[in-house]
Amino acid sequence: MKPTDIGAPEYFHKVVDCQWACPAHTPVPEYIRLIAAGRYSDAYMVNWNSNVFPGILGRTCDRPCEPACRRGRVDEEPVAICRLKRVAADNKEDITDRLPKPVAKKNGKRVALIGAGPSSLTVARDLLPLGYHVDIFDGDSRGGGMMRSQIPKFRLPESVIDEEVGYILGMGVETHFNQRINSIKNVLGKGYDAIFVGTGAPRGRDLDLPGRKEAAAHIHLGIDWLSNVAFGHIDKIAKRVIVLGGGNTAMDCCRSSRRLGGEDVRVVVRSGFDEMKASPWEKEDAQHEGIPIINFHVPKEFLHQDGKLTGMVFEVVKAEYDAKGRRNLVPSGEADVTMECDAVLIAVGQENAFPWIERDIGMEFDKWGLPVLNEKTMQSTIPNVFFGGDSAFGPKNIIWAVAHGHEAALSIDRFCKGLDVKARPGPAVDIVSQKMGIHEWSYDNYISEEQRKRVPLKPLELALANIKVEVELGFDAKLGFAEAQRCLNCDVQTVFAPKLCIECDSCVDICPTECINFTIDGEEVELRSRLKAPAKNLDQAIYVAGNLKTGRVMVKDEDVCLHCGLCAERCPTGAWDMQKVLIQIAHAGAGGGK
Amino acid sequence: MTYLPKPKLHRRDAPVNSLGYTRADYEGAVSTLCAGCGHDSISAAIVQACFDLDIQPHRVAKLSGIGCSSKTPDYFLGASHGFNSVHGRMPSVMTGANLANRDLIYLGVSGDGDSASIGLGQFAHVMRRGVNMTYIVENNGVYGLTKGQFSATADKGSQSKRGVVNSDSAIDLVSLALELGATYVGRSFSGDKEQLVPLIKGALLHRGAAFIDVLSPCVTFNNHAGSTKSFDYVREHNEAVNRIDVIMPHQSITTAYPPGSLREVVQHDGSVLRLRKLAEDYDPTNHLNAVTHLQQGHAKGELLTGLLYIDSSAEDLHVHLNTVDSPLNRLAERELCPGNATLTALNASLR
């Protein structure tokens, strides 16, 4: 097969599974090494550059990096990447002098950001240092969007939001809080060079079931209820609460209820437990707080008496899979279940809503009511209007909102400079050999055998007593170090120079995961099948290098390489080298252009 | 070498043998030899052979003398018995161990210095006695531990790293083993595991004295242009007379070869050595034919490799000595002391 082109930035980027999986492509191993070295401020800044909200994300991220983590394929559990981020945020020194200062000389371009959530704030952060004038509008009195209004304070303390939103507002944004935009026409008429829409997915889905209207006073939409709790408008709930829905919002609702007077709080979900949308760790957290999760129950009716909610009726279903593997929920034949309750929180999904975007301005919407966007550039059908966050493609999460913000900022910058928005600059790639001596490397190549560390928690009775008390205590320095050492340093790449190889087999013999082979060349499928340990994981590349003296090729299966560097230590000629690849995705202003 | 212990994380889908062991279970401590040493490849080949043969590690005794090669038993079969003997005296220790417990699999690992210089006498006698063992010489032609002087197997006319020409004749351990009565004789190359692994497997299954001479380049002192034991030289002059597949009695034979190209040798335990002929008219079961070919190859400057000689009906030391079937170390007082009555009868018969 064709020799691998290790010069293409995607090749090594894909080997760094966590960074590849992160929507914002945070250089994860880079900051984890800095944490291990106790350089928390430096680790924080590596994060801040990529994902903008390290302290917030270190508590709330959906962590697509962790299922991708290579350690999860050779050990029981992946590295606790998300909570390590928090270690950097918790232990850093004052980093304000490292942040970009407000730019004195503006470039004359004006940008309006609608909504002050994570995507808009990311756009602001990327554009302000380039000299843009940025106006930000939000209906609330402070910045942060759903990070502030919907994530309960026991998961994300207000001080962390204030700090990280403050860093950006301090860079010279002109804020227009308490100003809900009711007409995009108005904004379009103000002569902005570009407009960014980051208004989230603010409408909670309702359930139109018998009794919904009659008992309305005791039935709340999850996200609205959460924001009322967040802003202090609601501070108690009845004793018996049913939360409908299986997503992370449902988990926040039930855990908030436990703290506001709910004693018998239960989650009831249509699907099976395993198919619930909530992240596994959020389900665990809810169960830890004594909240049962009852699955395969479809809500049927609200029971009420004299305008007072008395309970709910559920149909019991089971999952059946058709020939194509699609799941259908069909009646189980069991009798309906009635549960008594005093209040119900409906958290069965949320939707985008754009009542404030007039439909006669020439913007195209698709059949689901979402704006038609270019997925890469975030540009709408009106060239100077861009979208991001949940308002772009429906509800996702904070880290996706940040990624959208970066892309939109890059687009806005190119658009304002008259450059082709679709032409995207590639990432900055920096490759440095880690060799310090015969068997000394500038990274710690010892492979830790420690198991994943659990985050210490506040005792349950203290945690449930006050909705503002943060449940997780975070890793201390010692636990953080132990967890950081579990990282395999996947960004330190095995780089092979065929010309230097004498085919002594030392690397083959030492490799603890049997990744390296010297064999006759062949087509990829066939080649994968006849390696010392067949390369069965097709998501992972095989690294092929030719031109060896015996006419054979070197084939390395990237799948479970520990990046321990033993191949390079055992190589007598330096044909293997360990080289750190730092990949940074292009942000606004990258790739030149005037 | 490396300072790190071998990482304990392994691939989840690592192949397992019928005992449920992975290859890693047959490994030993991390090697302290120079990076690139051929000896490490031989260790890996031994690991592979034992894995393939479903050998229980605790049923193996590995013995060695002194030298770089003799350090290697620490680097494979970490769960086996081991004995690191005095320089050149491994064969007598192995003979004694074998006599005491005939049930273990004996694996001797030695070098060209240990076997062809200080231990040449011991080497000769362990071969002629037919001790049931596998004897591997990791042959690099130099004394690596003392910075690269010529050993007794260095070819006449070959050059040291500093350009000195060797004026002494070389000892060819393969010819010697054949002459002295070894009944399984092979030669291979550390850089060719496809040939080496089955050769070791065949030797481990052989009853009698099995000897394998493995050319194992010393990357630090003997891998240069004037050397005849370098990777390049061995690859250029390697003439494999055959390739072998070792088929255990319980395995079925699946691959087919054209008629006449294959020769099957059944060993005493029922295992089959399938020899794919590479050289015309080479017959490894014919002692005279093997010796002649070796001499002819030597004259042409070729290094003959493969299974050079096999006598599948060989008998070992225990047969020669007519020992009891049960290992001597398990014979207790009951078996060894026939009692007063028997002694009296014996004495009476002699009066």
What is the Cα–Cα distance from A560 to A70, expressed in whole angstroms?
A: 7
Q: A502 and B4: CB-CB below 8 Å?
A: no
B44 CB neighbours in chain A (<8 A) are 505, 508-509
Residue A593 confidence (pLDDT) above 50: no
B1 CB neighbours in chain A (<8 A) are 439, 569
Domains observed in chain A: 100-202+352-416 (3.50.50.60), 204-349 (3.50.50.60)
Q: What is the DSSP letter of B251?
A: S
Domain assignment of residue B13, yes or no: no
* Tens digit of each residue's pLDDT (9 = 90 or more) over A322-351: 888 888 899 999 999 999 999 999 999 988
Domain assignment of residue B350, yes or no: no
**How does residue A439 score in pLDDT terms, banded at 50, 70 and 90?**
confident
Residue in chain A nearest B31 by alpha carbon: A510
Nearest Cα to Cα of residue B174 among B241, B226, B245: B241
Q: How many CA atoms lie within 13 A of B137 on its CB side?
A: 33
Nearest Cα to Cα of residue A201 among A162, A121, A146, A158: A146
CB-nearest to B4 from A446, A502, A549 is: A446
Domain assignment of residue B150, yes or no: yes
pLDDT score recorded for residue A369: 86
The average pLDDT across A399-420 equals: 97
- Which secondary-structure segment (H or E) carries B54? none
Residue A594 confidence (pLDDT) above 50: no
CB-nearest to A533 from B3, B4, B15 is: B15
Task: Give the ipTM.
Answer: 0.89
Mutate to test the interface with A, among B3, B9, B30 (most CBs of A within 10 A): B9
Q: A74 and B11: CB-CB below 8 Å?
A: yes
How, if at all, do strands A435-437 and B60-64 pair? unpaired
CB-nearest to A504 from B9, B14, B36 is: B36
pLDDT score recorded for residue B256: 65
pLDDT score recorded for residue B270: 81
SS3 B178: helix
Q: B1 and A562: CB-CB below 8 Å?
A: no
The average pLDDT across A445-470 equals: 95
Domain assignment of residue B15, yes or no: no
- Alpha helix (H) ranges present in A76-207? 81-91, 118-127, 146-149, 158-169, 184-188
B23 CB neighbours in chain A (<8 A) are 514
Contact A192, A111 (CB under 8 A): yes
Domain assignment of residue B9, yes or no: no
The average pLDDT across A310-315 equals: 96
What is the Cα–Cα distance from B295 to B178, expressed in whole angstroms?
A: 12
Domain assignment of residue B345, yes or no: no
Q: B8 and A447: CB-CB below 8 Å?
A: yes
Domain assignment of residue B107, yes or no: yes
Q: B36 and A570: CB-CB below 8 Å?
A: yes
Query: What type of residue sits at position A340?
Result: E
- Alpha helix (H) ranges present in B101-230? 112-116, 120-128, 173-180, 193-205
Shortest distance, CA B116 to any CA of chain A (angstroms): 25
What are the structure tokens assigned to A573, written together?
């000629």
Contact A234, A206 (CB under 8 A): no
B7 CB neighbours in chain A (<8 A) are 447, 512, 562, 564, 566
CB-nearest to A505 from B3, B8, B191 is: B191
**pTM, to two decimals:** 0.91
Q: B191 and A503: CB-CB below 8 Å?
A: yes
Shortest distance, CA A493 to any CA of chain B (angstroms): 17
pLDDT score recorded for residue A53: 98
A505 touches chain B (CB under 8 A): yes
Mean residue pLDDT across chain B: 93
Contacts of A537 (CB under 8 A, 6+ apart): A73, A557, A559
Q: What is the CATH number of the domain that holds B314?
A: 3.40.50.970
The average pLDDT across A180-187 equals: 95
Terminal Cα distance for chain B, rounded: 69
Shortest distance, CA B71 to any CA of chain A (angstroms): 17
Contact A326, A300 (CB under 8 A): no
Contacts of B168 (CB under 8 A, 6+ apart): B150, B152, B154, B156
Domain assignment of residue B17, yes or no: no
Question: What are the φ and ψ backbone dihedral angles of A563, each rounded to 5 degrees?
Answer: 55, 35
What are the structure tokens assigned to A145, written together?
């969007």
Mutate to test the interface with B, among A509, A548, A567, A571 (most CBs of B within 10 A): A509
Q: A572 and B1: CB-CB below 8 Å?
A: no
* Tens digit of each residue's pLDDT (9 = 90 or more) over B265-275: 888 888 888 88
Shortest distance, CA A59 to any CA of chain B (angstroms): 29
SS3 B239: strand
- Which residue range(s) make up the domain with B94? 23-329
Residue whose entry in the numeric block shows the structure tokens 């060993």: B267
What is the Cα–Cα distance from A426 to A407, expressed in whole angstroms?
A: 12
Dihedral of alpha carbons B94, B95, B97, B98, sign: positive
A499 touches chain B (CB under 8 A): no
From edge to edge, which strands make up the β-sheet containing A516-519?
Answer: A516-519, A553-557, A542-545
Shortest distance, CA B184 to any CA of chain A (angstroms): 26
* Tens digit of each residue's pLDDT (9 = 90 or more) over A188-207: 999 999 999 999 988 899 99
- A417-435 b/e (C-beta count within 10 Å ≥ 16 → b): eebebeebbebeeeeeebb
Q: A512 and B9: CB-CB below 8 Å?
A: yes
Q: How many distinct helices (H) and strands (E) make up chain A?
A: 22, 24
- Give the number of domains in chain B: 1
Q: B9 and A536: CB-CB below 8 Å?
A: no
**CA dist B330 → B46, B105, B325, B333, B342 (Å):** 29, 17, 11, 10, 22
Contacts of A255 (CB under 8 A, 6+ apart): A152, A154, A285, A286, A289, A291
B231 CB neighbours in chain A (<8 A) are 502-504
For helices B173-180 and B120-128, angle between their N-to-C axes, nearest 10 degrees: 40
Task: Look at A293 and B13; give whichever has higher pLDDT.
Answer: A293
The average pLDDT across A18-44 equals: 98
Where would I find the beta strands (DSSP E) of A59-156? Answer: 110-114, 133-138
Mean residue pLDDT across chain A: 95
CB-nearest to B9 from A75, A438, A510 is: A75
Given a cut of 70, the residues of chain B with pLDDT beneath it are 1-2, 253-260
A449 touches chain B (CB under 8 A): yes
Beta-bridge partners for A343: A241
Mutate to test the interface with B, among A502, A507, A537, A571 (most CBs of B within 10 A): A502
pLDDT score recorded for residue B2: 66
